[in-house]
Amino acid sequence: MSITEQRPVISKLEQQELRRLLAENKRIDGRSPLQYRSISVQLGYVEKAEGSALVELGNTKVLAAVKVGIAVPFADTPNEGILIVNAELVPLASPTFEPGPPSEESIFLSRYVDRSIRESKTIDLSSLCIVPGRSVYSLYVDLYILDYDGNLIDASVIASVNALGITNMPKYVVEGQAIKRTDEYFKLELKDHPVSLTYAFLDDKYVVDPCLSEEYASDFTVSMTVKSDDRFCAIQKNGGGMISPRRVIELLERSVELGKELRTVAYRQLTGGNG
Amino acid sequence: MSITEQRPVISKLEQQELRRLLAENKRIDGRSPLQYRSISVQLGYVEKAEGSALVELGNTKVLAAVKVGIAVPFADTPNEGILIVNAELVPLASPTFEPGPPSEESIFLSRYVDRSIRESKTIDLSSLCIVPGRSVYSLYVDLYILDYDGNLIDASVIASVNALGITNMPKYVVEGQAIKRTDEYFKLELKDHPVSLTYAFLDDKYVVDPCLSEEYASDFTVSMTVKSDDRFCAIQKNGGGMISPRRVIELLERSVELGKELRTVAYRQLTGGNG
Amino acid sequence: MSITEQRPVISKLEQQELRRLLAENKRIDGRSPLQYRSISVQLGYVEKAEGSALVELGNTKVLAAVKVGIAVPFADTPNEGILIVNAELVPLASPTFEPGPPSEESIFLSRYVDRSIRESKTIDLSSLCIVPGRSVYSLYVDLYILDYDGNLIDASVIASVNALGITNMPKYVVEGQAIKRTDEYFKLELKDHPVSLTYAFLDDKYVVDPCLSEEYASDFTVSMTVKSDDRFCAIQKNGGGMISPRRVIELLERSVELGKELRTVAYRQLTGGNG
Amino acid sequence: MGENITLFSEDGKRTDGRALDELRPIKIKVGVLSNAQGSAYIEQGKNKILAAVYGPKEALPKHISLPDRCILRCRYHMAPFSTTERKSPAPSRREIELSMVLRNALEPLVMTSLFPRTVIDIFIEVLQADGGTRCAGLTAAVLALADAGIPLKGLAAACAVGKADGKIVVDLNDLEDKYGEADMPIAYNPTLDGITLLQMDGIMSKEEVEQALSLAITATQKMHKMQVDALRERFSVQRRET
Amino acid sequence: MGENITLFSEDGKRTDGRALDELRPIKIKVGVLSNAQGSAYIEQGKNKILAAVYGPKEALPKHISLPDRCILRCRYHMAPFSTTERKSPAPSRREIELSMVLRNALEPLVMTSLFPRTVIDIFIEVLQADGGTRCAGLTAAVLALADAGIPLKGLAAACAVGKADGKIVVDLNDLEDKYGEADMPIAYNPTLDGITLLQMDGIMSKEEVEQALSLAITATQKMHKMQVDALRERFSVQRRET
Amino acid sequence: MGENITLFSEDGKRTDGRALDELRPIKIKVGVLSNAQGSAYIEQGKNKILAAVYGPKEALPKHISLPDRCILRCRYHMAPFSTTERKSPAPSRREIELSMVLRNALEPLVMTSLFPRTVIDIFIEVLQADGGTRCAGLTAAVLALADAGIPLKGLAAACAVGKADGKIVVDLNDLEDKYGEADMPIAYNPTLDGITLLQMDGIMSKEEVEQALSLAITATQKMHKMQVDALRERFSVQRRET
């Protein structure tokens, strides 16, 4: 059962301070409402993974790693590779993350990232078939949250796409009934460069890329994933509260604009500076 | 570990009232001690299941649904189909049902229903073999308790047998090594029409088909499943307390009598009025 | 997560008493510091297992039973049989053992016993291959702790080796693609007779084969498994506290000496009196 | 996905004969269970869904309670027989996510500050699934809350909108859900002009999302009326009974 | 089941040479473990079963306790090596059911109102199984309770009766259990003329159940005597020790 | 294991070019996470390991606390991508054992009696594994404890020694771990001359264990210096920051 979450008590004073600042279009860390934090991306952080990226978004640290394997395809998609996204809210990242089976937050996070990649068709899964109905590539994208200062979703999408973007795929050859791994590799091809934009709402004001104290103070957040062609492939309101249709439309516009900028920064190393 | 159950506290007054009534051969809802509640059976309630029945026994509501599949037979019965009974005490049915893995009550219920069907040979499992040792039909009988006002066992047996009685079996044909589903169907044949009779005991008095407050007030219950030929295929004392051998013999007699009546009512729609 | 264990409170008086005795090289049950308790071994206790032994070490009772089966070998050892050691701290043995999935203590115990057998090559796993890569023998060694008065490790190693030492292996023959069990049996051959020696430390004094109250009072224990050729195949410090390198070297010497004695006693029935 | 499924007939009607902005037939009944404090049943297309509410009641263990308001617990669950292939009764990752999404969508409707230190349990059981179960489940759960006599800021109804074969449609059925381009479930309260549930899967442009949003608002307003009717019927029955 | 197993020899003896109403050889020992407050061991045929009792002790967490009496916790468990095929040590559905059935059969024997707010733990471990384990386990558990010094309303012994190859037999062995027509485990207290455990699987007519019941009563009365002897031996040993 | 792996080149160097008593390159950084009270990162060969400490904080539920000292909780965990084959994120039996072994090795270093009724949580995450992870994890965890400002009786560093192709070597790499004859992880505090972690797998004679032990002491003393340097750097950075 899902149960009302217990957020760490933010002192009334701190919440009031955030309100006061927002009224003046200011934020606790000096950013303007629609300003993103600085992003650093370290590609290939884990050599044992076929692809990996360590992303720092302010103090939020997310490590994404891709493991490539061979698997039997699902019965309803015999010609498609398998993509599995798994997120671990590692307890060293925050006093609120507990060891144990995946929490609803981690399931929610991994499913949102999964949708952002899958629906945008960033990976052409039909290109990952080796023998139809029998052998396909499997891509495990493991998200490891190492330090939590808000906005895990956007950081995780960026980390996943970067890790996929440098993934080396071992080549296999079919020999009769057997499938043999060769020494050759090929690069996994990205068909899109989606970015997620997350907004935190407090009293009908909002900021993009909330830090942790903004997330805790907020009524709810809205995340929107934008493809390179400015279309949307995932939207999600998260948390209680209500949003007016007018505000949703406003966010769609914001996300197209902000998405362009973010894409350039987030995938600079993949694209050589061209988003 | 099994632990002494915590029944909702029935006020001493209410229990005294039940005792007083019983002394006069009366019951809290106006029935006589050996009177069953009214039964309503709605066949085919869930169209996506191959067979289903919603049974209302007073305020107790049980939905049984049969899903038909293909499976590898168990090693020790290579020529027999597979029958699995599973009961869910859905939390919306009662404040005492909790979400989570099957409780001992739900395991007990499903195992009793399983025995009632299996031991009575209501289904001829050997008729459900497609290719010996390789492919047999599997019948999943899922019991869903939707509203709980006592006597789940009797209601569940009635719901299961009704659901099985209208189950449409897809026909399969063997083509070389493969097994192919056809568009044709056949009716699952019932070899018997077992009914369970449950008695609740309070101070050596007993009533049949206890409602919830009678169940809570009782020392224990005894359930007996009777086949169409008046023989017994399952008996179970449930709960603490002691019963004398003389009383057991008395219940056997009662169950044969009451079973005849109940069978006619419970399976009227299956048999066209002849039990 | 592993959490600091809560030992039953030993009264300060009792711990002081142990200290006082140790200062005089005495122990609570009259033994000298390097004296082992008496050992009784009952071979073949469980007839349904292919090998079994009930070992009593003072009041500690451990039942080991070996079940032999056929399995697919692990991918990285296609020519080797499978050995699995599992320990159950059965709740009837102690008020501190709880029903449920294996505790860290039981995992630790089974892994230490596993190492003692595996690293000493007591069983030649390569002799347990039937068809390479397809069919090998599997040996399940189940340890059942029935009464707990300290030193489970040493008792469990003795019980396991004794049970393996009398294990009857059913013979299989390969007929084309199939593997058929015959009526013949052969004896599992032991290549070694390892024994574990466990020492409990209190204030830099130590005793071998601690009973339960000594275990609870101790700072930590050290276990060492010695092979028949006096070499070591497993060492483990267990519990908090520090041990000096000098003491470790002293224990190595002790274990070689004591191991010889213990081996003779523990495996008398297997070897006809010659360790 | 990849298969050649046609989602529209030549006359522009959908696979089940509906127009683009037409809801499936809906049947709602409030107060259908005897033990629950509040309950409701909905049929929408072939969806058959029960919702039940227990509470407010003491929150146990105490550390889950909040000093200034009541907390909600919510379980969205699909019966093993609700889908074409039998589903394991253990909660899937999807069910865990939807339990959270639905709790978040219901919480802003409840006047939680009236019942500090208590808990309200909401159970949603999908007996038969036909696309749009989370939305139909929410529509029923809101009514179960009202039936339980829990003070609400307002009702909300939910409906999936989306895109199928290039067209924006309302209340997607199972086929459109599976083979369409996008699915956007929305819960909307018309009085407060507030969206409490908003998700989107698939691909839509900004303009398409806007168009879908507008369809959703009209559709949920229609459903709102059915909710009110169902409550009215419930209370008139009760009145007759007393 | 379908196989041609003959359960009787030509002279009317059972597969293990017994007469219809004859019990298997039984060996009982009370007080066999050092840590448990009470314990007992039983061999019945090839069954080897240990029972141990801890308590009465404080019931924790408190919310499981009852203000007017002690509660019981009971675990029936089979060792992985107790059966022909190795059994997983995780409790099966059968073991969960039997833990409940045995708790219900033991509870009426214990004077629970003497120890409010406490708990008694009963552990039954089947080391080797040979048909009728629940009954032999109960016979041992009752003795473990007595050995723990817990006041009982009386002892009870248990025995399976049933039908094999058309005949009513007592104390079914593994073969009769598997290939017979019916199995009816019964626990009986002769002093109070009370049955505390009653189950039946398989097919029997009313008359056959009655006949089996009568055999069970005679058999459990014999076992009752063995229980008393085993307790007497236990207490005489203790007296000698002191 | 049966395969013909050569662990030494003709000039007596190890597979990665090291001498017998030579450590792999080690990189240590203290204070690398923002939320944890203390943290440290270590690279040793291709091992990449993070350790973080939370506490001392109130021990909840209360019954786990101790009246005279603080308790420790410890989790050693390997990331799914840390090994060549993807590892399930659920803790394996090995991880459960090592969590206990590491807790036991850390506990004697902490002045636990200063913080009665509290708990300290220690998390060790292996991001990439290359042999000797428990030792490198311990070396980092000790620093994370120090970084958290928790009073320690002393630092300790850990290192595996063992036997490969007949030779006693220090700081086994992945290949030596897999194909060598013995592996002996040791944590040592040079000031108190105390070993807090001692394990051995594989086969060694008494003399070989002694020799390995002596190598381990020298190696951990070297690592001790690196620990001190890393702490010094951390505190000088903090000083610069203020």
Q: What is the CATH number of the domain that holds C57?
A: 3.30.230.70
User: Dihedral sign, CA of A209, A212, A218, A220?
Assistant: positive
- Count of pairs with CB atoms under 8 A, one residue in B, one in E: 118
pLDDT at E242: 61
**Chain F residues lying within 8 Å of A67, measured CB to CB:** 80-81, 86
| Burial state string for C136-146 with b = 16 or more CB within 10 A and e = fewer than 16 | bbbbbbbbbbb
Residue with tokens 């009386």: E154
The answer to whether the CB atoms of D213 and A234 lie below 8 A apart is: no
Strand pairing category for C82-89 and C135-147 = parallel
**Chain A residues lying within 8 Å of F128, measured CB to CB:** 46-48
**Chain E residues lying within 8 Å of C138, measured CB to CB:** none
| Among C258, C252, C223, C217, residue whose Cα is nearest residue C37 | C258
The answer to whether the CB atoms of E80 and C101 lie below 8 A apart is: no
* F64 → closest Cβ in C3, C126, C227: C3
Residues of chain B with pLDDT under 70: 9, 11, 273-275
| E186 Cα to chain B: minimum distance (Å) | 10
Chain A residue with the nearest C-alpha to that of D1: A77
* E46 → closest Cβ in C47, C99, C144: C47
**CA–CA separation, B195 vs B233, rounded Å?**
10
Q: State yes or no: chains A and E have 3 or more CB pairs below 8 A.
A: no
Q: Identify whether the C-beta of residue C107 lies closer than 8 Å to the C-beta of residue F99.
A: no
* A1 → closest Cβ in D97, D99, D210: D99
Strand pairing category for F182-189 and F157-164 = antiparallel
**Mean pLDDT score of chain F:** 94
Tally of CB atoms within 10 A around B53: 27
Confidence of residue E4 (pLDDT cuts 50, 70, 90): low
Q: Which H or E run includes F53?
A: strand F47-58
What does each C-alpha distance from F196 to B160, E168, F154 come to in angstroms?
62, 67, 11
Chain A residue with the nearest C-alpha to that of F48: A46
Amino acid at A154: D
**CA–CA separation, B173 vs B183, rounded Å?**
11
Q: What is the CA radius of gyration of chain B?
A: 20
**Chain F residues lying within 8 Å of C228, measured CB to CB:** none
pLDDT at D241: 66
- Tell me whether residue C248 is in a domain: yes
The answer to whether the CB atoms of D100 and A104 lie below 8 A apart is: yes
**CA–CA separation, B17 vs B27, rounded Å?**
9
Chain B residue with the nearest C-alpha to that of E73: B3
pLDDT at C274: 46
- Tell me whether residue C12 is in a domain: no
- Assess A3–D contact: CB distance below 8 Å, yes or no: yes
The answer to whether the CB atoms of C242 and F194 lie below 8 A apart is: yes
| A243 Cα to chain D: minimum distance (Å) | 5
Q: For the sheet with D167-170, list strands across it.
A: A205-208, A195-202, A220-226, A232-238, D194-204, D182-189, D157-164, D167-170
- Assess A83–D contact: CB distance below 8 Å, yes or no: no
**Chain E residues lying within 8 Å of B243, measured CB to CB:** 194-195, 198
Cα end-to-end distance, chain C, whole Å: 41
Which one is predicted more confidently, F102 or A217? F102
What does each C-alpha distance from A164 to A67, D25, F78 come to in angstroms?
10, 45, 21
Q: What is the pLDDT of residues C220-268, one digit of tens each?
A: 999 999 999 999 999 999 999 999 999 999 999 999 999 999 999 999 9
Confidence of residue D4 (pLDDT cuts 50, 70, 90): low
Give me the interface pTM, i.e. the ipTM: 0.94
Confidence of residue F10 (pLDDT cuts 50, 70, 90): confident
The answer to whether the CB atoms of F81 and A59 lie below 8 A apart is: no
pTM of the model: 0.95
Counting the structural domains of chain B, the total is 1
The residue among B143, B146, B152, B168 with the most chain D CBs within 10 A of its CB, best to mutate, is B146
The residue among A47, A48, A103, A148 with the most chain F CBs within 10 A of its CB, best to mutate, is A48
**CA–CA separation, E214 vs B246, rounded Å?**
10
User: Residue B178: beta bridge partners?
Assistant: B175
pLDDT at C272: 76
- Tell me whether residue C108 is in a domain: yes
pLDDT higher than 70, residue A274: no
**Chain C residues lying within 8 Å of F219, measured CB to CB:** none
Q: Is C238 helix (H, G, I), strand (E, B) or coil?
A: strand
Q: Which CATH architecture has domain F26-241?
A: 2-Layer Sandwich (3.30)
**Mean pLDDT score of chain D:** 94
Q: What is the CA radius of gyration of chain E?
A: 18
Residues C99-115 have a mean pLDDT of: 96
Token pair of E169, please? 């037999």
Confidence of residue D2 (pLDDT cuts 50, 70, 90): very low
The answer to whether the CB atoms of B65 and D79 lie below 8 A apart is: yes
Q: What is the pLDDT of residues A67-102, one digit of tens each?
A: 999 999 999 999 999 999 999 999 999 999 999 999
What does each C-alpha distance from D119 to A8, D95, F232 come to in angstroms?
19, 21, 51
pLDDT at F242: 61
pLDDT at C273: 53
Chain B residue with the nearest C-alpha to that of E109: B241
| Among B125, B150, B123, residue whose Cα is nearest residue B60 | B150
Q: What is the pLDDT of residues C165-209, one digit of tens each?
A: 999 999 999 998 889 999 999 999 999 999 999 999 998 899 999
The answer to whether the CB atoms of E107 and B77 lie below 8 A apart is: no
Q: Identify whether the C-beta of residue A137 lies closer than 8 Å to the C-beta of residue A81.
A: yes
User: Which subunits count as partners of chain B given 3+ CB pairs below 8 Å?
Assistant: D, E
- Assess F199–A contact: CB distance below 8 Å, yes or no: no
Q: Within the 4-63 window of chain F, which residues sit less than 8 Å (CB to CB) from chain C?
A: none
The answer to whether the CB atoms of E34 and C59 lie below 8 A apart is: yes
Least confident piece of the model among A14-23, A204-213, F124-133: A14-23
Q: What is the pLDDT of residues C74-89, one digit of tens each?
A: 999 999 999 999 999 9
Q: What is the pLDDT of residues D123-172, one digit of tens each?
A: 999 999 999 999 999 999 999 999 999 999 999 999 999 999 999 999 99
- Assess F192–C contact: CB distance below 8 Å, yes or no: yes
| Among B205, D203, C1, residue whose Cα is nearest residue F106 | C1
pLDDT at A14: 81
Chain A residue with the nearest C-alpha to that of F51: A92
Q: Identify whether the C-beta of residue A127 lies closer than 8 Å to the C-beta of residue A191.
A: no
pLDDT at C184: 96
Chain F residue with the nearest C-alpha to that of A94: F35
- Assess C6–E contact: CB distance below 8 Å, yes or no: no
| Among F51, F127, F139, F33, residue whose Cα is nearest residue A94 | F33
- Tell me whether residue A15 is in a domain: no
- Tell me whether residue C167 is in a domain: yes
Which one is predicted more confidently, F11 or C233? C233
Least confident piece of the model among A116-120, D228-232, F122-126, F232-236: F232-236
pLDDT at B271: 86
Look up the domain containing A109 and give its range. 24-271
- Tell me whether residue B192 is in a domain: yes
Q: Identify whether the C-beta of residue F173 lies closer than 8 Å to the C-beta of residue F222.
A: no
Chain E residue with the nearest C-alpha to that of C50: E81
- Tell me whether residue C17 is in a domain: no
The residue among C45, C48, C98 with the most chain E CBs within 10 A of its CB, best to mutate, is C48
**Chain C residues lying within 8 Å of F103, measured CB to CB:** 2-4
- Assess C100–E contact: CB distance below 8 Å, yes or no: no
Angle at the Cα of C129 (from C123 to C134), degrees rounded to 5? Answer: 140
| E230 Cα to chain C: minimum distance (Å) | 20
**Chain A residues lying within 8 Å of F148, measured CB to CB:** none
List, in sequence order, every beta strand (DSSP E) within chain C. 2-3, 39-43, 51-57, 60-71, 82-89, 129-131, 135-147, 168-175, 178-187, 195-202, 205-208, 220-226, 232-238
Q: Identify whether the C-beta of residue F161 lies closer than 8 Å to the C-beta of residue F215.
A: yes
- Assess A107–D contact: CB distance below 8 Å, yes or no: yes
User: Dihedral sign, CA of F170, F173, F178, F180?
Assistant: negative
The three state secondary structure string of chain A is CEECCCCCCCCHHHHHHHHHHHHCCCCCCCCCCCCCCCEEEEECCCCCCCEEEEEEECCEEEEEEEEEEEECCCCCCCCCCEEEEEEEECHHHCCCCCCCCCCHHHHHHHHHHHHHHHHCCCCCHHHHEEECCCEEEEEEEEEEEEECCCCHHHHHHHHHHHHHHCCEEEEEEEECCEEEEEEEEEECCCCCCCEEEEEEEECCEEEECCCHHHHHHCCEEEEEEECCCCCEEEEEEECCCCECHHHHHHHHHHHHHHHHHHHHHHCHHHHCCCC
pLDDT at C97: 95
Q: What is the pLDDT of residues B92-109, one digit of tens each?
A: 999 999 999 999 999 999
Where are chain F's structural domains? 26-241
Tally of CB atoms within 10 A around E105: 29
Amino acid at A37: R
- Assess A238–D contact: CB distance below 8 Å, yes or no: yes
The answer to whether the CB atoms of D33 and B146 lie below 8 A apart is: yes
* C48 → closest Cβ in E84, E121, E123: E84
- Assess B222–E contact: CB distance below 8 Å, yes or no: yes
- Assess F88–A contact: CB distance below 8 Å, yes or no: no
| Among B189, B199, B188, residue whose Cα is nearest residue B259 | B199
pLDDT at D60: 84
**Mean pLDDT score of chain A:** 95
pLDDT at A273: 53
Q: Identify whether the C-beta of residue E55 lies closer than 8 Å to the C-beta of residue E121.
A: yes
Angle at the Cα of A103 (from A99 to A106), degrees rounded to 5? Answer: 105
pLDDT higher than 80, residue E55: yes
- Count of pairs with CB atoms under 8 A, one residue in A, one in F: 80
The answer to whether the CB atoms of E210 and B249 lie below 8 A apart is: yes
The answer to whether the CB atoms of F203 and C233 lie below 8 A apart is: yes
Q: What is the pLDDT of residues D160-190, one digit of tens each?
A: 999 999 999 999 998 999 999 999 999 999 9
Contacts of residues E7-16 at CB distance under 8 Å and 24 or more positions apart, as own/partner, are: E7/E164, E7/E165, E7/E175, E7/E176, E7/E179, E7/E180, E8/E164, E8/E165, E8/E167, E14/E164, E14/E169, E14/E173, E14/E176, E15/E173, E15/E175, E15/E176, E16/E45, E16/E173
